[in-house]
Amino acid sequence: MKIFPVSLRPDFIIWLIIGFFMISGVLPVYASGTVSLKKPPASLEEWYKPANKRQVWLHTMFRLRREMQAIAVYAKNNDQEAMLKWIKRLDKDYNKITSMVPEWEEEIKPRLIPDLKMFAEKGDALRVDKTLKMIKRTCDDCHTQYQPLVTATYRSPFYNDIKLKDGNGKTQSFDDNMDQLSRSVNRILIALDDGHNAVALQASQKFVDQLQTLGSSCSSCHKDDDYPHERILGKDTGQRFKKLQANIKQGLVKDSQKLMGEIAVTVCARCHNTHRIVSDLRNALLPDE
């Protein structure tokens, strides 16, 4: 079941995936209008939340990137001692890859690390740089094949697991809540267009209540971080709704319509641009989940 129902035509799915690649800086492998992605080994799941208490895989990748950058910097500065320090760390983390995901043994080239150390000891900065680029290529090749699907699988929330409770304590899904929000938005706009101000006012309050129900779910992912909720459903949004209701009571139709446009951008679009893109990508790539 999809969280935010959309019509996922084949061409839409392709461009959704290509767009994701462009945003993440990863180029897709494609031919004849199709995109090919490799499914990551099941053992990778062990190193991501919630299977693991820490994002072990991510932190290992971050360290590898930092270690390679440090080696490049110190090679340029001819600082042999610092190079060797960071090569030792790189050796440890690079070889962790196959200990965590044995299926990727063929994806890396551990023999390059002793070569890197040898060139560093000789003070051959040019070969250090070339060897680093060869190591980085093994990382890039793996990322090109696996990173998008890994991101969609392990780094995006599975919204079906999150349940909402309305003001009456009734449980509902994101699908239900999104449908209600959409209907309320349109009910407000229809009523404004037809001069039914009392109906528009009632629908606006219903809209506020539905957004509060949606907002109660933010802590499911963001835990103790109040900023995401505040950015979308915080004080500024509350003030916009107060102004909207005041405008409706005064019969200021155009001002109310304009304010509804602002709310659509600052609430609906802002939330969708963060959450819906990843959710749709996940649903497109993992349709059976």
Fold of 161-285: Four Helix Bundle (Hemerythrin (Met), subunit A) (1.20.120)
Three-state secondary structure string covering the chain = CCCCCCCCCHHHHHHHHHHHHHHHCCCCCEECCEECCCCCCHHHHHHCCCCCCCCHHHHHHHHHHHHHHHHHHHHHCCCHHHHHHHHHHHHHHHHHHHHHCHHHHHHCCCCHHHHHHHHHHHCCHHHHHHHHHHHHHHHHHHHHHHHHHHHHHHCCCCHHHCCEECCCCCEECHHHHHHHHHHHHHHHHHHHHHCCHHHHHHHHHHHHHHHHHHHCCCHHHHCCCCHHHHHHHCHHHHHHHHHHHHHHHCCCHHHHHHHHHHHHHHHHHHHHHHHHHHHHHHHHHCCCC
pLDDT by residue for the chain (289 residues), tens digit each? 333 333 334 444 344 444 444 444 444 444 445 666 778 999 999 999 888 888 999 999 999 999 999 999 999 999 999 999 999 999 999 999 999 999 999 999 999 999 999 999 999 999 999 999 999 999 999 998 888 888 878 877 777 778 888 878 888 888 889 999 999 999 999 999 999 999 999 999 999 999 999 998 888 888 888 898 999 999 999 999 999 999 999 999 999 999 999 999 999 999 888 888 777 777 777 766 5
Q: Model pTM?
A: 0.66
Domain residue ranges of the chain, discontinuous segments joined by +: 37-154, 161-285
